[in-house]
């Protein structure tokens, strides 16, 4: 199985995606999955729908360059529930699975899809709290 790894950090001050990447590489290795590519957005908010590396990942998914997207946590993929639902529906229509390592989430299962809805709503709530603190 061919996998794509996606990582994101929203700020550049002291944060590095390397920890996310290391865990995702290890997971792919344990599953015996080939890593087609790594897509890393640094210094970009998860609330933005347009991110250079995420856009490239979605384009490659549409071309079926890989079978599964590995992400460290759902909130690294996005913090807007609408964006998450749309992006994951696109992946599903391309025949590409989605696995969130830390959330223990595999969207190829009914329970995984239910958990995704709950986790996505929590990520959007957390983003709202962050916005509120920034304005205060």
Task: Please provide residue 121's backbone torsions phi and psi, each rounded to the nearest 5 degrees.
Answer: -65, -40
What the block records as the tokens of 100 is 């969130």
By three-state DSSP, how is residue 9 classified? strand
What the block records as the tokens of 16 is 């590095």
Q: Which of 118, 81, 76, 129 is nearest to 100 (CA)?
A: 76
For the question of residue 10 being annotated catalytic, the response is yes
Question: What is the DSSP code (8-state) at residue 29?
Answer: H
d(CA 5, CA 63): 16
Which one of the listed residues 10, 42, 45, 47 is annotated catalytic? 10
Residues annotated as part of the active site: 10
């Amino acid at each position: 199985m061919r996998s794509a790894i996606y990582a994101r950090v929203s700020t550049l001050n002291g944060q590095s995606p390397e920890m996310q990447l290391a865990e995702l590489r290890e997971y792919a290795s344990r599953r015996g999955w080939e890593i087609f590519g790594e897509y890393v957005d640094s210094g970009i908010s998860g609330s933005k729908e347009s991110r250079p590396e995420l856009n490239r990942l979605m384009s490659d998914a549409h071309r079926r360059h890989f079978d599964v997207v590995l992400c460290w946590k759902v909130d690294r993929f996005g913090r807007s529930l609408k964006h998450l639902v749309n992006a994951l529906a696109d992946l599903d229509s391309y025949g590409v699975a989605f696995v969130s390592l830390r959330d223990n989430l595999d969207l190829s299962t009914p329970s995984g899809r239910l958990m995704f809805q709950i986790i996505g709503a929590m990520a959007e709530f957390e983003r709202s709290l962050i916005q509120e603190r920034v304005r205060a």
